[in-house]
Amino acid sequence: MTTAVEETLVLVKPDGVARNLTGEILRRIEAKGYALVDIRMVQADRELLAKHYAEHEGKPFYEPLVGFMESGPLVAIRLAGDRVIEGFRSLAGATDPTTALPGTIRGDLARDWGLTVQQNLVHGSDSPESAARELALWFG
């Protein structure tokens, strides 16, 4: 049985960049055997973030999330590998750092004392369709 190589978008969020965790996050990604296809540091503006998070517009967490994501630089990564979408999401751990298992990026590295759940270090596309849309937004 063969698996198709997928691509996904990974974002190291502003908290990960501010805490100098980008290198450790990249180390974990590469240790899993995924290929870094493209990487760039970005100061995301509201227009880009509104497109990225369009499905969440109107939800209670939308404004805090967009505000957090535009609060500082982030690192956008085009990542490739077998089942990379599912694999990276497993590597990242649960969205809420308080429930993320040890051995995951969020379980080991995310801070969970009184911070909003948006400050969870990384984003990874959740499906092939989302990955295609998000990669087009961030990498053109």
Domains of the chain: 5-139 (3.30.70.141)
Whether 133 has a binding-site annotation, put simply, is no
Q: What is the pLDDT along the chain (140 residues), one digit of tens a residue?
A: 566 799 999 999 999 999 999 999 999 999 999 999 999 999 999 999 999 999 999 999 899 999 999 999 999 999 999 999 999 999 999 998 889 999 999 999 997 666 667 789 999 999 999 999 999 999 99
Report the b/e string of 89-113 with b at 16+ CB within 10 A: bebbbbeebeebeeebbbbbbbeee
The residues that are catalytic are 123
Is 61 annotated as belonging to a binding site? Answer: yes
Q: Judge whether 106 is annotated as a binding position.
A: yes
Helices (H), 3-110: 14-18, 22-31, 46-52, 62-69, 84-92, 105-109
Which residue from 71, 56, 79 is spatially nearest to 138, judged by alpha carbons?
Answer: 79
Regarding pTM above 0.95, the answer is no
Is residue 89 part of an annotated ligand binding site?
Answer: yes
